[in-house]
Amino acid sequence: MYPENEIFREGLDELAEHYKEILTLLGEDPSREGLLKTPMRVAKAMQVLTRGYEMDAHQVLRDALFKEDYSQMVIVKDIDFFSLCEHHMLPFYGKVHVAYIPNGYITGLSKIARVVDIYSHRLQVQERMTLQIKECIEQTLHPLGVMVVVEARHMCMQMRGVEKQNSITTTSDFSGAFNQAKTRQEFMNLIHNNSKL
């Protein structure tokens, strides 16, 4: 049995068995003391890291939709995220910055961060995650415009392959009012303003 406050998806025990086999294939002895609980720990960790498959990001926004006449830029910046690269299943992590211009409706600010969590807790590529966040906000709120910028470090570039420790990958996607260079520049200036609250 697992603790009542931890809810894991179907297939957890089978997943743990596969990790036990992986340990053997790597040349380890899964029966040694330090590794006895490792297959289940990894299985649980992987279910947590991919819990976004079980969540509906559009519904999260719809649950906190409010009619409001505000029509200036709303920005939620420096949203921390962690995800797994689908090519090597190694982490990539960083910050997401989101802006939208309401068109009669706003959503709870924490819901924007929740949308980021949902899409980042899947096997991902940064480019697709950027697009998914933008499209979710666009399709649910129908704003005058949306822009998403993601800045991330990729462990698959740092730990293996080219082994470049200080590289940062930046992706962006935008629509509506953000097709205007002036509006995009305003957003970029605001997210790179390092003022502390």
Catalytic, 136? Answer: no
From the candidates 85, 97, 124, 136, give the one annotated as an active-site residue.
85
Q: Is 158 a catalytic site residue?
A: no
Beta-carbon contacts of 47 under 8 Å, excluding residues fewer than 6 positions away, are 8, 9, 12, 15
Burial of residue 20 (number of CB atoms within 10 Å: 0-12, 13-18, 19+): buried
- Reply yes or no on whether 88 is catalytic: yes
Active-site pick, 47, 136, 138, 154 = 154
Catalytic, out of 88, 135, 151, 186: 88
Residue from 126, 132, 136, 138 carrying the catalytic annotation: 126
Whether 87 sits among the annotated catalytic residues: the reply is: yes
Out of 87, 127, 142, 192, which one is annotated catalytic?
87
Token pair listed for 106? 């706003």
Check if the beta carbon of residue 63 is closer than 8 Å to that of residue 110. no
Give Cα 197 distance to the centre of its chain: 24
Catalytic, out of 21, 54, 68, 86: 86
Q: How many CA atoms lie within 13 A of 195 on its CB side?
A: 5
**Among residues 58, 135, 151, 156, which one is catalytic?**
156
Strands (E), the chain: 65-67, 74-85, 91-101, 105-107, 123-124, 145-154, 169-176
Helix (H, G, I), strand (E, B) or coil at 118: helix
154 is catalytic: yes
Closest CA to 26 of 14, 43, 38: 38
Side chain identity at residue 84, one-letter code: L
| Residue numbers annotated as active site | 85-88, 126, 154, 156
